[in-house]
């Protein structure tokens, strides 16, 4: 299908620096694949495992919406806006880098591993005011239904971003199915990331950590072959910032 793009987990970029074991769905750092420069305005999806007491020192970003989703452990965030926060599973962090933001991310524990997903999405405009937001989400609210965790509505969540993009988590029990209806089907596409489990999406089998991009459709059919956990991103397929 010309409007379905499959991203097997085994084809991701990989780097193990000892303190950091990381997998890249799209080109990032030393991993470069000209066929994988992102999907629409979704530029980065990294799957990071950070060793105890280790992490990313203070560094800067510009003009990017950065979303961090902890899956395991405790992540300590610090930034030049004055935020110091411990982020855990079922919490989501967003940063609008805009004109510039400096931050560090460390594994807060001296004993336990941290696993996070980090996504970068191009904003609708450059040089916006930097900001930070965090929110906790009840995992029971994503059982067999889509739980929105990020979106453009500034009144709905602390985790809003400067783009017509929506992020959802979904825990789908074995043999159940759901249909996702796009918010803006004529402008947006969908990227699905299977965090755990096995599923069929539009009759294409997906396994753990596989990704799939879909364009030119209003609905997406998802069926779990076993208990499964998904991240779904709906975002514009084109932007003046690309």
Residue 196 lies in a domain: yes
83 labelled binding-site residue: no
Residue 242 lies in a domain: no
14 labelled binding-site residue: no
Q: Given the structure tokens 């950065």, which residue do they identify?
A: 66
Label residues 123-145 b or e (16+ Cβ within 10 Å = b): bbeeeeebbbbbbebeeeebeee
Q: What is the rounded (10 degree) CA torsion for 142, 159, 117, 242?
A: 120
Residue 72 lies in a domain: yes
| 18 Cβ contact list (under 8 Å, min separation 6) | 51
59 labelled binding-site residue: yes
Q: For the chain, what is the domain count? A: 1
User: Vertex 23, ends 86 and 175: CA angle to 5°?
Assistant: 85
The dihedral built from the CA positions of residue 235, 237, 239 and 241, taken in this order, carries a sign that is positive
Count CA atoms within 13 Å of residue 156 on its CB side.
12
Residue 58 lies in a domain: yes
- What pLDDT, on the 0 to 100 scale, is given for residue 239? 75
- What pLDDT, on the 0 to 100 scale, is given for residue 118? 98
Per-residue pLDDT of the chain in tens (242 residues, 90 and over written 9): 569 999 999 999 999 999 999 999 999 999 999 999 999 999 999 999 999 999 999 999 999 999 999 999 999 999 999 999 999 999 999 999 999 999 999 999 999 999 999 999 999 999 999 999 999 999 999 999 999 999 999 999 999 999 999 999 999 999 999 999 999 999 999 999 999 999 999 989 999 999 999 999 999 999 999 999 999 999 999 976 66
DSSP state string for the chain: -TTEEEE-GGGSEEEE-SSEEEEESS-BTTB--TT-S-BTTEEEEEEEEE-TT-EEEEEEE-S-EEEEEEEESEEEEEETTS-EEEEETTEEEEEE-TT-EEEEEEE--SSS-EEEEEEEE--SSSSPPPEEEEEE--GGGGBTS-EEEEBS-TTT-S-B-SSS-EEEEEEE-TT-EEEEE-SSTTTEEEEEEEEESEEEETTEEEETT-EEEE-S-SEEEEEESSSEEEEEEEEES--TT-
Token digits of residue 134 = 């965090």
103 labelled binding-site residue: yes
Q: Specify whether the CB–CB gap between 90 and 139 falls below 8 A.
A: yes
Residue 127 lies in a domain: yes
Token digits of residue 31 = 């991993």
**How many angstroms separate the most distant Cα atoms in the chain?**
48
Domain hosting 84: range is 4-236
- What pLDDT, on the 0 to 100 scale, is given for residue 209? 98
Write the CATH number for 142. Answer: 2.60.120.10
Residue 8 lies in a domain: yes
- What pLDDT, on the 0 to 100 scale, is given for residue 160? 98
Q: What is the pTM of this model?
A: 0.96
Residue 241 lies in a domain: no
């Amino acid at each position: 299908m010309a409007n379905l793009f499959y991203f097997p987990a085994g084809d991701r970029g990989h780097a193990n620096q000892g303190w950091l074991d990381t997998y890249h769905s799209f080109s990032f750092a030393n991993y470069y694949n000209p066929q994988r420069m992102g999907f629409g305005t979704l530029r980065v999806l990294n799957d990071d495992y950070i060793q105890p007491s280790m992490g990313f020192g203070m560094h800067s970003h510009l003009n990017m919406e950065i979303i961090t989703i902890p899956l395991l452990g405790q992540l300590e965030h610090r930034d030049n806006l004055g935020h110091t926060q411990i982020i855990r599973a079922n919490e989501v962090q967003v940063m609008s880098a805009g004109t510039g933001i400096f931050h560090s991310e460390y594994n807060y524990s001296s004993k336990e591993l941290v696993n996070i997903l980090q996504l970068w999405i191009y904003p609708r405009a450059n040089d916006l005011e930097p900001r930070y937001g965090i929110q906790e989400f009840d995992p029971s609210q994503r059982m067999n239904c889509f739980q929105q965790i990020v979106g453009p509505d500034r009144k709905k969540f602390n985790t809003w971003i400067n783009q017509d993009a929506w992020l959802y988590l979904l825990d789908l029990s074995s043999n159940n199915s759901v249909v996702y209806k796009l918010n803006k089907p004529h402008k947006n596409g969908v990227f699905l990331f299977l965090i755990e489990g096995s599923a069929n999406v539009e009759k294409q089998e997906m396994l753990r950590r596989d990704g799939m991009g879909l364009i030119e459709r209003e609905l997406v059919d998802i069926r779990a072959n076993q208990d499964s956990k998904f991240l779904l991103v709906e975002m514009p397929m084109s932007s003046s910032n690309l």
